[in-house]
Structure 1
Amino acid sequence: MQEDWDNLLILDGCRFDMFSDSYADFLGGSLESRTSMGSASKEFMENNFYGDSFHDTVYVSANPHSHFVPEGTFHDVITLLDTAWDEETGVVLPEDVVAAARDAHETYPNKRLVVHFMQPHYPFIGELGQQIEHSGVGKRTSDGDLVSSTKQSKTIWAVLHYDLADVSHEDVWEAYNENLDVVMPAVESLCHELGGKTVITADHGNLVGEWIGPLPVRGYGHPPNMYVPELLEVPWHVIEAETRRDVVSDTPVAQTDAEREIVESRLSDLGYR
């Protein structure tokens, strides 16, 4: 939060290597790696946001953990768990994050923006990814119950770890990268629309079967308090701008709490419960 930017676009669960391989030259920006302050979203938010105040900043988020950011931390927190949740895929889609960020910029033209996408974090929503059985995908009732479906109830990382389905590491890695490709057009549109200096980063990375020590075991997902490069090394991609935003700090907007049941349901859909 102490860095110089007008827009901070967070890709959830995006490893540095996967971003670097495909998007190192994205929009002519400059890319370097940074060490995240958490190996999971909640830890990332606690270490970057909690206990401080950023009343010159608005936080637009598709991540369920943003609901728990203490009131008064930001000028406003706009969570999309209820208003923009896509029942078919079990996640907030990139285009809905773009729409919310655009609205936030119009409402608060003199504020910095943190925009937190859920991709490339699973559920996988690309063409290949939707063919892989894993949780977070499946039509849900208004009460959050999963409608009859052939989809797995386990996270994709549990599916891999315990060999619960006929899916290969290679397919999951491809679907994971496909999720990054799905979100990047939305990121590009915001870079053009919002104006000002933009930084693209991630809250944490992800393990996809890498060996982790000291015991010779393979790791999956993004457990908290696990400090290995695949989880902590994230992109910091800077896109400069000739015109910068005139940012001012104002009294925070009073928050309207999302329903606890909705938040818990979304956390469950994304493998946090």
Structure 2
Amino acid sequence: MSDDADPLHRIIARKVRANGLNPRWWVTNAYPWLRRRLRDAAFRGLMDLRRRDAFDHYEAEWDNLVILDACRYDLFASTHDLPGELEQRRSKGSATSEWLRRHFAHRDAHDTVYVTANPMYRATEWVGADLSGTFHDVIDITEGAFVEDGTTMPYTVAAAAAWAADEYPNKRLLVHFMQPHHPFVSAFARERGLLDPEMRLRQFATEGETHRDAGPWQTWSRQVDEGDLPVETLWRAYRDNLKLALPAVHDLLDALDGRTVVTSDHGNMLGERATPFAETVWGHPQEYQTPELVGVPWLVTNPDAPRRATTADPPIDRTARDAADDELSDRLSALGYA
């Protein structure tokens, strides 16, 4: 059975009329199709129930929200050395595309400037919403001279965020680091061949994050299954990517006024089993609500800091954006980041 433009009940009726007297059709086609439908419905229902307790990052009290992409809570808690009070939150999404959709698909964030090393906000097909007019401004550092080894390095993000803080003192600042998400760029990862030369930031805007997070995780999971890659090696590379970002985040905290929170959009799975069907999951497919995928850190770095006065203004026009891009590029080039 396959879906088409007709309502589902008409599809079923047509298939039964055509094949209902054929026992083989029931065994090889109808029953497997029904099982998949029931399984998918049960999965969606359970995930929706779990998502009821999800945390709205945008509605929380912050002036600066620092996102560490794909940073699960247990990794952050055991690795970070940042100041502040750490708690765990349940994210609304298990992938960046889902996180963006569930937070911003029906919301104007015109009091916010988005500094991002992840181009997913441009991937309308994958996000399921057009976010082009959502923020007052978007500082996109995902292409050209900003990119090294298929990613944007943490100090480039921090420098862009510091520039945005000076440029927009009356706006909330949403700063999206790419790490600890792969590509894994540490010396350890390079020595073990984990820096995938085919993985590029542009792929997020064109291929998105599939149900199985295909690509590197698919390859690595197969290597683990075949005994060619210890899962501990992946864990080390994942942790090293976070360690690469933390010094840049620490320095950025000193450059920001107001209340600053460090968190993540979603977590990551490294072969753990996901309920309700005990399937092994790698990476971060959408719609899952497992502790590894939606348990994220919430670190208020300066809980007693005075709040910054912010205002909501319409998104800036393209001409102004081009001029600002040139100024940002010049500043980052002078600092050696681009």
Same fold (TM over 0.5): yes
Report the alpha carbon displacement of residue 216 of structure 1 after superposing the two structures with TM.
Answer: 4.0
Q: 2:131 maps to which residue?
A: 70
> Residue 199 in 1 paired to residue 255 in 2?
no
Stretches of structure 2 that go unaligned for 5 or more consecutive residues are 1-57, 124-129, 201-213, 323-338
Q: 1:175 maps to which residue?
A: 237
Between the aligned partners of 1:116 and 1:90, the Cα distance in structure 2 is: 16
Change (3 A) 1:249 1:211: same
1:1-273 to structure 2, matched below 5 A, reads 1-23=58-80, 26-27=82-83, 29-68=84-123, 70-87=131-148, 89-134=149-194, 136-137=196-197, 155-163=215-223, 166-240=228-302, 241-255=304-318
The one-character-per-residue Cα deviations of 1:158-195 (angstroms, maximum 9, x if unpaired) are 12321278321001101101111000011111111112
Preserved CA contact (<8 Å) 1:67 1:79:
no
Fraction of identical pairs, as percent: 42
Between the aligned partners of 1:123 and 1:181, the Cα distance in structure 2 is: 14
Report the alpha carbon displacement of residue 226 of structure 1 after superposing the two structures with TM.
Answer: 1.5
Preserved CA contact (<8 Å) 2:85 2:300:
yes
Change (3 A) 1:155 1:130: farther
Change (3 A) 1:109 1:84: farther
Between the aligned partners of 1:121 and 1:194, the Cα distance in structure 2 is: 24
Between the aligned partners of 1:105 and 1:95, the Cα distance in structure 2 is: 15
Q: 1:264 maps to which residue?
A: none
Preserved CA contact (<8 Å) 2:189 2:195:
no
Residue identity opposite 1:42 in structure 2:
S
Between the aligned partners of 2:237 and 2:157, the Cα distance in structure 1 is: 21
Report the alpha carbon displacement of residue 138 of structure 1 after superposing the two structures with TM.
Answer: 6.3
Residue identity opposite 2:118 in structure 1:
N
Preserved CA contact (<8 Å) 1:13 1:119:
yes
Report the alpha carbon displacement of residue 31 of structure 1 after superposing the two structures with TM.
Answer: 0.7
Normalising by structure 1, report the TM-score.
0.82
Residue identity opposite 1:78 in structure 2:
I
Report the alpha carbon displacement of residue 21 of structure 1 after superposing the two structures with TM.
Answer: 1.1
| Larger strand fraction of residues | 1
Q: State the number of aligned residues.
A: 242
Stretches of structure 1 that go unaligned for 5 or more consecutive residues are 141-153, 259-273
Report the alpha carbon displacement of residue 34 of structure 1 after superposing the two structures with TM.
Answer: 0.6
**Structure with larger Rg:** 2
Preserved CA contact (<8 Å) 1:119 1:179:
yes
Query: Once superposed, which parts of structure 1, at least 4 consecutive aligned residues long, lie more than 4 Å away?
Result: 255-258
| Larger helix fraction of residues | 2
Residue identity opposite 2:170 in structure 1:
N
Between the aligned partners of 1:193 and 1:206, the Cα distance in structure 2 is: 29
Report the alpha carbon displacement of residue 214 of structure 1 after superposing the two structures with TM.
Answer: 3.7
Report the alpha carbon displacement of residue 55 of structure 1 after superposing the two structures with TM.
Answer: 1.1
